[in-house]
Amino acid sequence: MTQKLIKHGPKIALFEPDIPQNTAAIIRTCACLGVKLEIIEPCGFLLNDRRFRRVVMDYMDEKNIRFYKSSDHFFNSKKNQRIILMTTKASISYTKFKFDKNDTILFGRESAGVPRKIHEMINNKLKIPMKNSKRSLNLSTSVAITLAESLKQTGLI
């Protein structure tokens, strides 16, 4: 059962996602927690991909998902809004950051993150601390961890 969409709450944004199963799992997470998802195209797969459909099941509710045709379109629509970039290149832990209710939390492509240009545009960059020898968590896991902290801090869960 999905929750009602949180009207004024955090948004999860995915930059050109390229693994259908991860995107589908993130759609399910957002649907279950009542959070809006924003997808910056192009995606590295089609929404009718059987791997995507298998994971997303009946959680795909396009009124809770906003698609942007490009990163320019995304950033133009966010001119007066705070965007937080989750990246392994950040020095600040997501647990040491004060989230606001209307933040947009941006995650890069599984295969390449975000381009340097986007990295340089965003002031707030956070990471999920990991053991030194590990590269990164699965994208859907990273979204769930960060979103849970944001919702907890803002009192939305």
Tell me the average confidence (pLDDT) per consecutive run of 10 residues in the chain, 157 residues long: 66 95 91 93 82 72 86 96 96 97 96 94 96 86 97 91
**What pTM does this model have?**
0.90
Place of tokens 């995650």: 107
Domain ranges for the chain: 11-153
Both tokens of 23, joined, read 């995107």
Options 3.30.420.340, 3.40.1280.10, 1.10.3720.10, 3.40.50.1220; which CATH number does 11-153 get?
3.40.1280.10
Whole-number Å distance between alpha carbons of 95 and 87: 14
Q: Which residues of 61-91 are buried (b: 16+ CB within 10 A; e: fewer)?
A: eeebbeebeebeebbeebeeeebbbbbeebe
For 103, phi then psi, to 5°, come to -65, 150
